[in-house]
Amino acid sequence: MTEPTASSEPAPAAPEDRIVPDTKDWTWVLARPCPECGFVAAEVSPSDVGPAVRDSLPRWRAALERPDAAARPRPDVWSPLEYAAHVRDVFRVFDERLALMLTQDDPAFENWDQDVTAVESDYAHQVPAAVADEIDVAGHVVAAAFDAVEPGQEERTGRRSNGSVFTVRTLGQYFLHDVVHHLHDVRA
């Protein structure tokens, strides 16, 4: 995480944290379109992921440049800043998971609790300009990792801590849904 510099001002304080942890198993998006954001995972191949991530980056930056980027639309809904910080971390986590899948046979992924991370990393009080830079860097890294997937690697597997099994293909689909869905959440 980048610390605020003397020239950057911290984001305004977020309202009392009333976010309800997301306990849904979103792997259902691999089998059917998302009714909220319209994403159709089955149409995504690993070679689509890198370009789609890079295309999302200017939209994230624009959302973070809004004067109200740190404001929650409701006390129980993350602000664009919080969603962007989450997506930055999603980029990092999925880059690590993809690397494991490409270098190990059927690795088990370390558990990652997004809600705990949001609180411990204090997403609500991060600096929007710093998060914009960090999401750009992390996005380019994970995009390049998906660009480097070779056709023979698409069916390599990995397992989440809850037992969900992914192939490189389905990991990319699941991952990209998160990015697209949160752009929809912040109306970017």
- Is the pLDDT reported for residue 80 higher than 80? yes
Measured CA to CA, the distance from residue 23 to residue 171 in angstroms comes to 19
Instruction: Give me the pLDDT at residue 57, please.
Output: 98
Q: pLDDT-based confidence at 8, cuts 50/70/90? A: very low
Instruction: Give me the pLDDT at residue 163, please.
Output: 87
Per-residue pLDDT, averaged over 82-104, amounts to 97
Instruction: Give me the pLDDT at residue 21, please.
Output: 67
Per-residue pLDDT, averaged over 52-81, amounts to 96
What separation in angstroms does the CA of 34 have from each of 37, 51, 98, 152, 181? 6, 21, 23, 28, 8
For the chain, percent of residues with pLDDT exceeding 70: 87
pTM of the model: 0.87
| pLDDT tens by residue, 13-53 | 444 556 666 666 778 899 999 999 999 999 999 999 999 99
Per-residue pLDDT, averaged over 132-141, amounts to 98
